[in-house]
Chains A and B, each alone.
Chain A
């Protein structure tokens, strides 16, 4: 190991830099997708709220874009210092990918600034508006290409071609994890973008003094949450596809993830996903209170939450309480005391988990259907929502950000003691698999810092100059 990082160590440093870069990147890649859709909806429906949603979100994206680049550079610095051998290997093996990455980042940045700064000038005519939407579409295409290029590098580290010495560039790019990762991250970015928009709306709702603004941010929070939850429901399938590819690539990866060192992470994942769904459903029920005549649906809430909680309990029950396959019970404790009793063993099986998650998703649909029914028969009083709902809109992104960080840690830790699985060993003092406790704190740090950064972005973009408007 050529260098180490003072005080906190190289792994902690690169973990934080990479994770924060990814959080911000997920937002600046995901949000523009529905910014453009929202702008188009505004043009089509003449509802000015869509235009305002698109523009205000784009302002947040424009500020967050610089932070993304800064953390990207910090990530690269740590990579070039303590992790120089693997950086060298990656640059050498995938040099054209890095070169094109630079080109597309440049094009994306130009397009992003063009999209943001031409908003007003191109808003004056219909042709101008369509041109602006066209720039937005191009921005998304370029952003997606950037994501595909970096996913190739990430996938290569997880699942490099077996005959790595003789593999060509395309074989290395088109590795086993590449497309599953592309799908997973594309959907994840939309989820993330939706939730951050909801977070922004909650922040603005709570700091707004005008009724009109509150009504708008109430609506915006609802839309952001809807997009986030809508994309979130597809994520388990995308995650399954990624895991399946890892399994096919090397079966021992699956055991390492699901039954060995990382199995506890998946129990934690279950808990977090359940919290997300509980939060999303709770928000919808609070939303229903602002619809005239919707009180008649309230009795159904208890039954729905009972199923959600029961599903959640089933999901988080582990098969056993061993942290890994090699762990032994403490002296004097029988091994069977740490294994689920026979009569409850079915709760630890995948089939029970699958049923639980299906029940949770169905109940979430039922909540949304009841909401739609209430909306069809009563008027929505935007802005009249219980302020508690806005704290739920802060809670949901907090859980989503944490979940994303933890899942990222799992993907990274499946490489075991390799930088590039099976090809480049991690010979640093930090080669070992982090415990769940360690990873949990690392992800918590990244989540808190991300929220501080986002609060800074909102404050700079919308609070400082507010009195002048």
Chain B
């Protein structure tokens, strides 16, 4: 009889302990996620590099990806010209790929054989595609930190350069390359098209 009573009390106590523990855990978790502006939070502010800026993602999606990347001017043997094109004498054209842009994104060079030196400075794998008069070629996909080279022979005209991976192109990872032997700022009607 007494043993049965003790057993019942033990069962009741264990049940109550589990319930109280669950309630305490729930209360602690709710306090962590309470979002009412008037309630002080003890979670502390995460460092900005962790969260990113509030609203920045949306702004980026709405505004930045489609805008062509500004020319950096860091190109060896390159100079900014009329408009925002970067003039490259020929030989090698260095392009940095990040999410989701190409730097520089607007290039002018002379027709002939050129070597694209492509550096992946982003966090994801990228690729490089060039398409235009007489050329439709793609490099090998390459990882962050790697540099690959792609040799092509350009004719007079306008080429589209882009990253063909996933939706990178749609997100703004593309640019224009004009091959012309004319001086900067003097494009023919065909080249403009």
Residues of A with Cβ closer than 8 Å to B? 4-12, 247, 251-252, 254-256, 259-261, 319-320, 322-330, 335-336, 339, 342, 345, 349, 416-417, 429-430, 432-433, 435, 438, 441-442, 444-445, 448-449, 452
**Bound form: Cα–Cα A137–B61 in Å:** 47
Question: Are B57 and A441 in touch, CB under 8 angstroms?
Answer: no
Partner of B123, one of A8, A322, A430: A322
| Residues of the A chain whose Cβ atoms lie less than 8 Å from the Cβ of B60 | 325-326
* Besides the known contacts A328-B49, A336-B144, 18 further A-B residue pairs in the complex with CB atoms under 8 A apart: A8-B35, A9-B37, A12-B34, A251-B170, A252-B171, A255-B171, A260-B57, A319-B124, A322-B123, A326-B57, A326-B60, A327-B52, A342-B143, A417-B55, A433-B57, A448-B25, A449-B26, A452-B22
Q: How far is the CB of A241 from chain B (nearest CB, A)?
A: 18
Given contacts A255-B166, A255-B167, contact A4 B125 (CB under 8 A): no
Would A326 and B29 be within 8 Å (CB), given that A259-B124, A342-B146 are in contact?
no
Are A8 and B167 touching (Cβ within 8 A)? Answer: no
- Chain B interface, number of residues (Cβ within 8 angstroms): 39
Contact across chains for A9 and B54 when beta carbons are under 8 A apart: no
With the chains together, A432 CA to B145 CA distance in Å? 32
**Residues of the B chain whose Cβ atoms lie less than 8 Å from the Cβ of A429:** 35, 37
Q: How far is the CA of A345 from the CA of B49 in the complex (A)?
A: 23
- Picked from A7, A328, A417, A430, the residue with its CB within 8 Å of the CB of B39 is A7
Q: Are A441 and B32 in contact (CB under 8 A)?
A: yes
Residue B36 interfacial (CB < 8 Å): yes
Tell me if B131 is interfacial: C-beta within 8 Å of chain A: no
In the complex, the chain B residue whose C-beta lies closest to that of A324 is B52
Chain B interfacial positions (CB closer than 8 Å to A): 22, 25-26, 29-30, 32-37, 39, 46-58, 60-61, 99, 123-125, 143-146, 166-167, 170-171
Contact, CB under 8 Å: A323 / B50: yes
Residue of A nearest to B53 (CB): A326
Task: Give the residue of B49, B54, B170 whose beta carbon is less than 8 angstroms from that of A327.
Answer: B49
**Alpha-carbon separation in the docked complex, A345 to B143 (Å):** 7
Measured between alpha carbons, how far is A12 from B53 in the docked complex, in Å? 22
Q: Cα distance A452–B20 when bound, in Å? A: 12
Question: What separation, in Å, do the CA atoms of A325 and B53 have in the docked complex?
Answer: 11
Output the residue of B22, B34, B48, B51 with the most chain A CB within 10 A: B51
Contacts of A416 in B (CB 8 A): 57-58, 61
Q: Report the minimal beta-carbon distance from B53 to chain A, rounded to whole angstroms.
A: 7
Q: Do the beta carbons of A448 and B26 come within 8 Å of each other?
A: yes
A contact residues around B54 at 8 Å (CB): 432
Complex CA distance for A342 and B125, rounded to whole angstroms: 11
A441 touches B29 (CB 8 A): yes
Within the complex, the shortest CB–CB distance from B192 to chain A, in Å, comes to 29
If A5-B36, A12-B35, A252-B61 touch, whether A330 touches B167 (CB-CB below 8 Å) is no
9 CB contacts below 8 A, A to B, read A251-B170, A252-B170, A319-B123, A339-B144, A339-B145, A417-B55, A429-B35, A435-B51, A445-B33
Per the bound structure, the CA–CA distance linking A342 and B142 in Å amounts to 10
Query: Residue of A at shortest CB range from B55?
Result: A432
Q: How far is the CA of A326 from the CA of B59 in the complex (A)?
A: 11
What is the CA–CA distance of A319 and B124 in the complex, to the nearest angstrom?
8
Q: Are A254 and B167 in contact (CB under 8 A)?
A: yes
Q: What residues of B have a CB within 8 angstroms of the CB of A247 in the complex?
A: 167
Interface pair A7/B143, CB less than 8 Å apart? no
Pairs of residues from A and B, 10 with the lowest C-beta to C-beta distance, nearest first:
A9-B35, A251-B167, A9-B36, A326-B52, A345-B143, A8-B34, A328-B49, A320-B123, A445-B29, A441-B29
- Complex Cα gap A119–B139 (Å): 68
